Structure 1
Amino acid sequence: MKRAVLSDLIYHKIDSQKKRVVKQFSDSSDAIGYFFIDELLPLEMVSKIHAVFPKPEEMVLKKSIRQDKYVAAQMNLYNPILEEIIYAFQDNKIVELIGEICQIKEPIADEYLYAGGLSMMGHKQFLNPHLDNSHDKDRDRWRVLNLLYYVTPDWNEEYGGNLELWPDGLKKDQITVHSKFNRLVVMVTHNKSLHSVSPILHNGFRCCISNYYFSKKPVFAEDEFRVTSFRGRPENKFTDAILKMDTFLRMNLRKIFKKGIKENPHVYKK
């Protein structure tokens, strides 16, 4: 399970479906461009990746009105297989191929896994609708692509924990992308790429491997700096009002403290 072997398998799988995913991304690119690849890796490999996923108590719990999930980025604390698969997605040939599919010039992988790495969600956990923050940890590069690789066997769509895209805002129906076992989802991130993860309705854990790609330029020229900007789900009006105020306050704080009051701990400190 070396990253060179993994990256070759990933590259050839994506390349073999290039024509289909180019169309899938192009058809959705006027709003929130995305594509997905199923059966990304051989079954025995992805099953082994899932088998060594850390337990909840070995991860960081992020629980608030915004979200409720477990995350991990300090990869040397976990089974080496997990670091190998995460960095396999950062192989130059894969970064360039995905950039070509998504019409992103010169995408750059993030070795520090800022807001990336591992995530896991169990019963009743959720991630409210939000826009990802616009930059990397040093505020030098624009966040442009989000890669999500789902590795929980037999995860049915009705279990929840699915990616939701809101291309027309919260007043219109969302697009639901099933967090299916062995599925890679790639979505573009910009000032209008509102997305969420539906609440988990199952007594189990949905496990995900995440990477972000950055660029020297934003997806759209009109994109502006933003903090991670949360909203409430359409049925939660009160939560929505609180979260909009929360974003307003944090945005104004960042006008004073350009890189925040304290360093975001969600990075891989090598």
Structure 2
Amino acid sequence: MNRIDLANLIFEKLSLEKDKLKFQFENSDSNIGYWYVDDLLPEDIALKIAKVFPDSGQMVLKKSLRENKYIAAQMNLYDSLLEEIIFAFQDQRIVAVIGEICEIKNPIPDENLYAGGISMMGKKQFLNPHLDNSHDKDRNLWRVLNLLYYVTPDWQEEYGGNLELWPNGLEQKQITIHSKFNRLVIMETHNDSLHSVSPIVFEGYRRCVSNYYFAKSPLLASDKFHVTSFRGRPENKMADLVLRTDTFLRMCIRKVFKKGIKENPHVYKKDQ
């Protein structure tokens, strides 16, 4: 299937569920708005997407105190279905209906897949609490929405690898959203949208298709530029101290070098 076929199916599903999703979004925690929809695509199509994911050896391993996961954004290296499902979420009909549900005017999809694309996480891998980078790769637009489409069949909540939202900070209990097969999750991104992925405790891989939407204005009037800013989990105070220092130092660098010292490689370079 191509991106138009996939977008047709997604648009039909979201249009059908729109009122319910708007209600879910409006009644989610006011500090981090979110919603999710299950059975986004017909099951056979979602299974095909899962099946064509590359092996871990064909992806980039990002492993540090901040995170431990496999990522990929250079989509022409992989099965074409993966590129088609990613860009189906950038169809203007999809962008518009998601913007309407989230009450965001004129959200802008990211054809560069800056920090988007596909990801995979296996046993003992994780993503520590963090704020996403506030801007696009050229630092012209504000990041406003995070789209996560999970495609691992039979993935149980107790396996880990679930999205965690921390709307009231690390001192309060997080909201856990199961990374359930064929589920699309949408969350706001701003200066207070702290989130993480729980450590995986299962011998298997959790697979995810990711997109971000941007806008000309931030979601919150108080939003300011920031790099991707990591924290340690509540039970790991030492990691939290190290990661907060790491964020401070990277912010100091960005005050001097607006776009960083080197280009972030996590983008889709279509000419390569």
- Relative to structure 1, is the Cα distance of residues 29 and 94 closer, same or farther in structure 2, using a 3 angstrom cutoff? farther
Match of 2:140 in 1: 140
Task: Output the CA distance in 2 between the equivalents of 1:78 and 1:147.
Answer: 21
- Is residue 2:198 matched to residue 1:198? yes
1:51 matched to which residue of 2? 51
Alignment partner, residue 22 of structure 1: 22
Q: 1:178: Cα distance to partner?
A: 0.1
**Alpha-carbon displacement from aligned partner over 1:146-191 (angstroms, at most 9, x marks no partner):** 0000000000000000000000000000000000000000000000
What's the secondary structure of 1:207's corresponding residue?
strand
Question: Aligned pair 1:170/2:191, yes or no?
Answer: no
Q: Percent identity?
A: 68
Hey, what's the Cα distance between the residues in 1 that align with 2:229 and 2:27? 26
Distance 1:134 1:168 in 2: 19
Aligned partners of 2:29 and 2:167 also within 8 Å: no
Residue 262 of structure 2 is matched in structure 1 by: 262
C-alpha displacement of 1:27: 1.1
Map 1:61-210 onto structure 2 (within 5 A). Answer: 61-210=61-210
Displacement over 3 Å in runs of 4+: none
* TM-score (ref. length: structure 2): 0.99
Contact (CA 8 Å) 2:34, 2:186: kept in 1 or not?
yes
Q: Secondary structure at the match of 1:99?
A: helix
| 8 A contact 2:36–2:183 mirrored in 1 | yes
In structure 1, distance between residues paired with 2:24 and 2:31: 12
Instruction: Give the letter aligned to residue 166 of structure 1.
Output: W
1:57 is paired with a residue whose SS is helix
Deviation at 1:29, TM superposition (A): 5.3
Amino acid at match of 1:105: K
2:35 counterpart of 1:35: yes
Is the aligned partner of 1:60 residue 2:60?
yes
CA distance in 1, matches of 2:67, 2:58: 19
1:46-95 per-residue CA deviation (whole Å, 9 max, x = no partner) reads 10010000000000000000000000000000000000000000000100
* Range with greater deviation from structure 2 (38-47 or 28-37): 28-37
Query: Given the two structures, how large is their TM-score scaled by the length of structure 1?
Result: 0.99
Q: What is the aligned partner in structure 1 of residue 226 from structure 2?
A: 226
Aligned residues: 270
Residue in structure 1 matched with residue 243 of structure 2 by the alignment: 243
SS class of match (2:10): helix
Distance across 2 between alignment mates of 1:253 and 1:3 = 39
Structure 2 stretches lacking a partner, 5+ long: none
Distance 2:166 2:21 in 1: 20
Report the CA distance between 1:222 and its aligned residue. 1.1
Q: Distance in 1 between matches of 2:223 and 2:24?
A: 23
The secondary structure found in structure 2 opposite 1:17 is helix
Q: 1 CA distance for matches of 2:139 and 2:157?
A: 36
